[in-house]
A and B are shown apart, each in its own frame.
Chain A
């Protein structure tokens, strides 16, 4: 072989090695790996891993498991998969099928064999005329109890209540569960007939008798009987059980792996008042073939195997799952209980757009639990609320008038911008600075991409109504709806002007707290008798340095009615015999106060730092001169220090007021708008419209645009006042 040929061959080999991976795979016609996303943890994850290993041994295809945090899972698949960055398959609950099938997140899988799978669970993957993936396992709430205390679990709610009373008192609770959550209210509600849909598939009105009775029942069992702790969270229930301070718990199978004491399961009891069994929601874990999967055939093969008897057995034995396969019987008592419970359980509906329904019910439930409304009042309000949030989009209007106006405005703006070009002096100036424009070019491009474009898109969305992925042009309708308070009286927490009022109150009170505390601390820090000045200063800046959502979550837990540090402190200070139980989020004043305290804590360091800096620029002489001239402390502050601080503080105050106006984190994390959305501010209200009330993006965008307008007007006015030295 000649030298030239050898080097040609070498070059070809190098090229072959450089070929992109998928291309080589196609040449090899051999898939050696598929990717699976899941949100399993602990034992379930171990079971899935074991199953994947077995499959790899049998088929030679490696299964790469990627665990994604549960809270981030839905948004992850919804953003990644439609853009082709998703896995080959993923495991998630069945109730998003309606939404995901429309978005192309999941692939229809009519070809997959359902042999041996329980037919009623196959209903969980049927949507439209199609089947989407295969059911793997199912979950529902069951009655868990402490077997060291209870030998025979009660089978009716009356018996449960009677039994629970025996073990309640002295920090101990007969029954612990998250009573204020709709998911936990559902078993009772369904027993009374308050299901989302009736037998014909029609929505059951939210103010039906069944709903009223169900609210009354939950209020009784979870509040009036005094056997259930107040405002429990998953963590507090878990803690109570682990401490031996809860005898009965209503929770799902996941709770079992989170406790470290003996625990036993029984089906939820017969609801004595309804004369029907409790019917919890049934959720089914489904293995979906992802949209745009790179290896759909291999993913389908693995899905079938994983759902089938062999995969099911591994998941059942090692993962502790209640599996969908009818071919692998179990003698595990928990799994047997789940199987019994699944017979009465109600399959979680898959219809998209039910978010608003859950929110309506949740509001009503919280009001009833708080005692702020009777069950029938609450049910009535829930129905009204649902009517508004579920209302079909406004009718489409012709975009042409808007297009004409917009073009005219754009042309006008362009003309206004270009008019100076007719001036030769201006042109000469432009030429002189030609390079300067080049230098600021990159920054301009970045600003256009990162600030201007999202703004324009966001503003544009405000003119469209969104419903299940479809946008309809409706012109200014959202703005008129909001500004003329079409749906609610002005005094309703849902009206724009109510929320605007709360937002203004929120901003003003916060600024008073921030500026007042900031100046006071800065003045104290400057006193000559302060020891360890640097240490104090650092400590006082600390609240600012901690990420504010962490602070907000800590404060929220401190305001808890039963376990919170604030109530404990009040108990201690007041010397009351019984623990003080202020329900901080139960009334507007206390809830607003809790938000204010949290944001006050977060905001004063900034004003303190600005004040410290400004104070340094005020010569000490001035105050001494005033002191010698006979001025008291207050007079010196009012007439000497304050006038000189003001110019430095004003920009900080304007900045601070804009931040506070939009302090989403605090409202969302501390009061979450409680009670009944009364402490919501504009920005968090906009969020609710976009994400918890049926994805009304257009309405939310209109809100955001109005907020922008308010702030723009405010900052213009403030600047003018500062410029004229009015402030």
Chain B
């Protein structure tokens, strides 16, 4: 078990800067999820920890050791790849034993460790198969098993669930949480799926264009997004962002009738989550375009003036496209119109 500490870490390929000035501490035993859109640098961060990428400048510590120039094999980290990277010519048992064989452990020690990991992941009956004879979920578990047997200081997960179907993904999320509880090791998990991020993380790191946007618990990020990027990236469907103008104690949405009880001054960006509307009454009136039914609930896609907004309702049957719908925001976020930063 160990902390992972980034100090003003930079990574660039020629003139392309992938990571710019990363400062971050991952505590011992913490489950940290790196999340962000494609190309934001989250995988690069993970590969820097693994040692698969060189660090252009700054420092990286695992525990108390500066590891900038330490080879991957000497870092005692375990990584689960998006493709699982199972060795196709080896059985499940050989795959899981690989790292121990490298470390020249005794055959008995290896057998015990593999059996233990196989029991935890329910792989006992698959140990003599080859990867090509396994389903996607089983391969995923073997990849996990290969990481577990090593008892590493840090686990690194690179989009481990993205090749699974939806139900399996939910199942594996639970397994990952269980595993984290059992092992208590520092785990770093990269994903672009914000649902996965919110469910798993002790702490979330939102990245965009190589810069950390916000670090915090899922609740913090959901309730108090630090800027419009985090606000729209976390939560599904995304937060509605509307240009608005404040008149002291009240505000109006630009180009829309109706006054809101939001104290503000001048132009700002108004953020409302789709779940934070009261539908059926209120100061705003929108044209219902589409009802997206999700079974027990529905998403109403509406035009508010020139702005497309989404609101969640519990009784979808009472709405039809073409209806005029009245709305009241229950909770709002305010962001600077110029910088997108959260206003106090």
Contact = CB atoms under 8 A, between A and B. Distances in A.
Interface of A: 619, 621-622, 624-632, 635, 639-640, 643-644
Interface of B: 50-52, 71-79, 81, 83, 85, 87-89, 98-99, 102-103, 146, 150, 156
A635 B73 CA distance: 11
Given A624-B52, A627-B73, A628-B156, 5 more contacts: A622-B87, A625-B79, A625-B81, A629-B73, A639-B98
Contact of A628 (B73, B87, B88): B73
User: Sorted from nearest, which 7 A-B pairs have the closest CB atoms?
Assistant: A621-B85, A625-B85, A629-B99, A630-B73, A643-B89, A627-B72, A630-B102
Which of A626, A629, A631, A644 has the largest number of chain B CB atoms within 10 A? A629
B102 A629 contact: yes
A175 B89 CA distance: 68
A630 B99 contact: yes
B286 to A, nearest CB: 48
B118 to A, nearest CB: 17
A632 B73 contact: yes
Given A627-B72, A628-B78, A629-B73, A619 B85 contact: yes
A628 B51 contact: yes
B85 A627 contact: no
25 contacts: A621-B81, A621-B83, A622-B85, A624-B50, A624-B81, A624-B85, A625-B85, A625-B146, A626-B87, A626-B102, A627-B72, A628-B51, A628-B52, A628-B77, A628-B78, A628-B79, A628-B156, A629-B78, A629-B98, A629-B99, A630-B99, A631-B99, A640-B87, A644-B88, A644-B89
Contacts of A629: 73, 78, 98-99, 102, 146, 150
A628 B78 CA distance: 6
Question: Which of A627, A630, A640 is packed against the most chain B CB atoms within 10 Å?
Answer: A630
Nearest to A646: B89
Contacts of A640: 87
Nearest to B49: A628
A639 to B, nearest CB: 8
B79 to A, nearest CB: 5
Contacts of B78: 628-629
B89 A619 contact: no
Contacts of A624: 50, 52, 72, 79, 81, 85
A82 B88 CA distance: 65
B88 A631 contact: no
Contacts of A626: 87, 98, 102
A625 B83 CA distance: 10
A629 B77 CA distance: 8
B52 A630 contact: no
Contacts of B77: 628
B50 A630 contact: no
Contact of A630 (B81, B89, B103, B156): B103
Given A621-B81, A624-B81, A631 B102 contact: yes
Contacts of A621: 81, 83, 85
A629 B73 CA distance: 6
Given A621-B81, A635-B102, A627 B52 contact: yes
Nearest to A635: B102
A619 B51 contact: no
B50 A628 contact: yes
Contacts of A622: 85, 87
Contacts of A631: 73, 98-99, 102
Contacts of A625: 79, 81, 85, 87, 146
A630 B85 contact: no
Contacts of A632: 73, 102
Contacts of B98: 626, 629, 631, 639
A96 to B, nearest CB: 64
A619 B83 contact: yes
B91 to A, nearest CB: 13
A635 B71 CA distance: 15
A229 to B, nearest CB: 57
A635 B98 CA distance: 11
A579 B83 CA distance: 60
Contacts of B79: 624-625, 628
Contacts of A644: 88-89
Contacts of B146: 625, 629
